[in-house]
Amino acid sequence: MRGAQLVAAGVLAALVGGAQPAAAETTPVTAIHQMMILESGDKNYRLFHGAIWLDHDKATQNYRWGGAQCAGKDLSASNVQILFAAFRSEYAVSLEYAVTELKGKQFRCITGFTISKT
């Protein structure tokens, strides 16, 4: 009976451990370098709806939202406007993001953000 209990405990631990969602990551506080907003007529709209490049890693990363690459991680129109206002006014931002994968390629998908004065 003890062996069966150990196996059951191991299975339960594996299930609980595997069911936990990945923790969101946070970028450093930095300025927005560039924004891209796609409309439904764009050929890439089904893949993602927009992207942001940050000053601190603009050469190597972008942060996306919506579409197949960031399914379930879309930004509302008002949040896109808030981010654009931060970009325009040169406020600093910190993005919360989750890493997703589509067809073997990873994408950083925005799940939230903080805006601050520098």
Q: What is the pTM of this model?
A: 0.79
Query: pLDDT 10s digit of each residue in the chain, 118 long?
Result: 444 433 333 333 333 343 334 567 999 999 999 999 999 999 999 999 999 999 999 999 999 999 999 999 999 999 999 999 999 999 999 999 999 999 999 999 999 999 999 7
Rounded to whole angstroms, what are the CA distances from 99 to 24, 84, 91? 8, 23, 25
**Closest C-alpha among 60, 68, 59, 65 to residue 95:** 65
- The secondary structure element, H or E, covering residue 9 is helix 2-19
CATH 2.40.50.50 fits 23-116, yes or no: yes
Report residue 102: phi and psi, to 5°: -140, 120
How many whole angstroms separate alpha carbon 93 and alpha carbon 56?
A: 11
How many whole angstroms separate alpha carbon 33 and alpha carbon 56?
A: 9
Domain boundaries, the chain: 23-116
